[in-house]
Amino acid sequence: MESFKNIEQSQVTISELMLPSHTNFSGKIHGGYILSLMDQIAFACASKHSGNYCVTASVDTVDFLRPIEVGELVEMKASVNFVGRTSMVVGIRVESEDIHSGIIKHCNSSYFTMVAKDKNGDSVPVPGLILKNEKQMRRFLKSLNRQEMKKKHRAASSAKHEINNEDLEILKNSHKVQLKY
């Protein structure tokens, strides 16, 4: 019998105070550090949902919307938005709070595709999702749409593209390139 879980059963939230050791050369919190935390929470959320070890298969669109400062409290919220046969899309929202003023800013949102693995490293089926409201249905459908777009993109990227005169004109006139061939 196939199992299903409520989205709330696998949601994870983490908070961490940003320290000077987390900064980049401009004194802001390093984006790579934030990505590492996002990968950790995606792993926790997906593993909690699947009951198995999970690996990151892909990361979709990471837009750093606002810088994070030293001394701010970063909160990350992760939720399974979509499940396939062995994969899950985990949505992550990153917010930071200035603990002196209480001002909260949305810094990042991203989607991690995670795959459940058994002890031998083979992919294993994951439980389905119980969708209880319009917001959950919308997130599931948006993730399904992103998955379909990724499949189309992979297919288009793997097809050989022959350069024609129209392509050459686009390169010469529309982009900051020099053609030397």
Could you tell me if residue 88 is inside a domain?
yes
CATH number at residue 14: 3.10.129.10
Q: How many domains does the chain have?
A: 1
Could you tell me if residue 173 is inside a domain?
no
Whether the pTM exceeds 0.75: the reply is yes
The residue segments making up the domain with residue 29 are 4-158
Could you tell me if residue 43 is inside a domain?
yes
Could you tell me if residue 167 is inside a domain?
no
pLDDT band at 153 (very low <50, low <70, confident <90, very high): confident
Could you tell me if residue 53 is inside a domain?
yes
**Partners of 75 in the beta sheet?**
15, 95
DSSP code per residue over 98-154: -TTT--EEEEEEEEEEEEEE-TTS-B----EEE--SHHHHHHHHHHHHHHHHHHHHH
Do 90 and 78 meet the contact criterion of CB atoms below 8 Å apart?
A: yes
pLDDT tens digits for 28-68? 999 999 999 999 999 999 999 999 999 999 999 899 999 99
Residue 1: what pLDDT? 44
From residue 140, give the alpha-carbon distance in Å to each of 1, 7, 57, 91, 178: 22, 11, 18, 10, 44
Do 90 and 56 meet the contact criterion of CB atoms below 8 Å apart?
A: no
